[in-house]
């Protein structure tokens, strides 16, 4: 029984490594892009929240509208941060699955 389990595990590892060898540089580049995109999505959330607050607050013409913009910007920023944090975590956790593009495209990505 131990030999059978060892053989199955060895074949599984060999097949998993063979996928990368067969795919070549395209898959390796894709996995690196997925990891980089996921890490950037996870790390840049506080800055995006502050940008959202500033954007909404700067739309107001008076003090009351600016204060309201801070509240609305905080809510919008929180929603976007949660969404991008989840998508970034999925990109990082599933980097080994070939995808055509990350779940969320950042502004500078093609």
Q: What is the average per-residue pLDDT within 3-29?
A: 69
Residue 90 pLDDT grade (very low, low, confident, very high; cuts 50, 70, 90): confident
Residue 92 pLDDT grade (very low, low, confident, very high; cuts 50, 70, 90): confident
pLDDT computed for residue 81 by the predictor: 82
Q: Are 65 and 59 within 8 A, CB to CB?
A: yes
pLDDT digits (tens, 9 = 90+) for 56-71: 888 888 888 888 988 8
- The angle formed by the CA atoms of residues 67, 70 and 74, to the nearest 5 degrees, is 155
Q: Are 54 and 72 within 8 A, CB to CB?
A: no
What is the domain count for the chain?
1
pLDDT digits (tens, 9 = 90+) for 25-47: 555 566 777 777 777 777 777 78
pLDDT computed for residue 32 by the predictor: 73
Q: Is residue 34 part of a domain?
A: yes
pLDDT computed for residue 101 by the predictor: 66
Q: Where is 101: in which H helix or E strand?
A: none
C-alpha–C-alpha distance, residues 26 and 12, integer Å: 22
- The angle formed by the CA atoms of residues 16, 21 and 22, to the nearest 5 degrees, is 95
Q: Is residue 93 part of a domain?
A: yes
Range of the domain at 83: 25-105
């Amino acid at each position: 029984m131990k030999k059978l389990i060892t053989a199955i595990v060895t074949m599984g590892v060999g097949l998993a490594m063979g996928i990368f060898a067969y795919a070549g540089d395209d898959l390796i580049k894709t996995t690196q892009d997925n990891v980089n995109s996921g890490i950037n999505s996870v790390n840049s959330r506080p800055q995006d929240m502050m940008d959202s607050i500033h954007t909404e607050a700067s739309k107001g013409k008076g003090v009351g509208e600016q204060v309201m913009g801070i509240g609305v910007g905080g809510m919008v920023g929180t929603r976007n941060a949660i969404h991008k944090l989840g998508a970034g975590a999925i990109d990082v956790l599933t980097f080994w699955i070939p995808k055509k593009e990350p779940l969320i495209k950042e502004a500078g990505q093609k």
